[in-house]
Structure 1
Amino acid sequence: MPFDPSMLFMIVILVLMFGMMWWQSKKAKKQQAKVNDFRESLQPGTEVATYSGLLGKIVEVDLEKEQAVIDSEGSRSRWRLAALTEPPIVPAYIHDDEVDEYGNRLEDKASDDEAQKPLDAEDASGDKTGEQTK
């Protein structure tokens, strides 16, 4: 039986396809476990977001019914645990006027200079309290 290179190519392609399917399955299971751990660790006071965009804090959790009550700016609502996710991380915002052309933050020199000066305790008359008046 002669060696057929096209058969070897087919075997390699099949092995790669099964490898990719296995890797994706493993990745999906890991992500699902992370989501389940988050939902099981929900407690009152935990900040959450819903997939529809509502941000709030957990007030009450009922794991048997898979529901949670969220307080969002004084308004309470009941949500299924499947609709909850971790809140988005909001990066610190720095205005373009606060950085130089290289992206380094500009320091406010006036406030830095004042912050570095020692405080001299003066009373209302202008005399320093540490000195005696004659």
Structure 2
Amino acid sequence: MPFDPTFLILIVALAAMLFFTTNRSRKQQKAAAEFRENLRPGVEVMTQSGMVGVVVGVDDARQIIRLESSDGHVTDWVMAAVKEIPAQFATPVPEDSDDTDEARDSEDKDSGSTIEPGVIDVPDDLSGLDTAQQEYRDQQKRKDDDTDGK
């Protein structure tokens, strides 16, 4: 039985593919473990489920991290569920500009609002949704009435 070189090429290609995929995943696991080892309070992180928060406590013995969300709620997470926050989700660092800070502070005091500027206020319930839908329906009726008369 003659030797078939295509079988050898197939085996070498399969071994190379296996090596590169395991090597890449090993590097990713090493980087994630290194990131988790260096976690300290004040670091902004993201959980695997997508929650962004700031580390307020680390329990290395239990492998638990305590995170504070932007609304002030503190929750405990398993260390393996926390990863480095991608750049697009990180909180932007404000530029140090004295002129804009003073102007913004005076505007905030005059507005009387308890919501910080740039923060979108999302209601806890859907009660405002019915009003918005009703306004939309009324607007559509007015448009229909205008086009019927023409």
TM (norm. structure 2) is 0.55
Name which one, 1 or 2, has greater alpha-carbon Rg.
1
In structure 1, distance between residues paired with 2:58 and 2:39: 7
Q: Report matched runs for 1:47-126 at 5 Å.
A: 47-73=44-70, 74-90=72-88
SS at match of 1:59: strand
Deviation at 1:46, TM superposition (A): 0.4
Please state which structure has a larger fraction of its residues in helix. 2
In structure 2, distance between residues paired with 1:39 and 1:33: 10
SS at match of 2:53: strand
Q: Aligned residue for 2:43? A: 46
Q: Aligned residue for 1:33? A: 30
Instruction: Say what the alpha-carbon RMSD is for the aligned residues.
Output: 1.5
In structure 2, distance between residues paired with 1:46 and 1:57: 6
Deviation at 1:88, TM superposition (A): 2.1
Gaps of 5+ in 1: 92-134
Aligned residues: 88
In structure 1, distance between residues paired with 2:39 and 2:69: 16
Deviation at 1:25, TM superposition (A): 1.1
Selected match of 1:11 from 5, 8, 11: 8
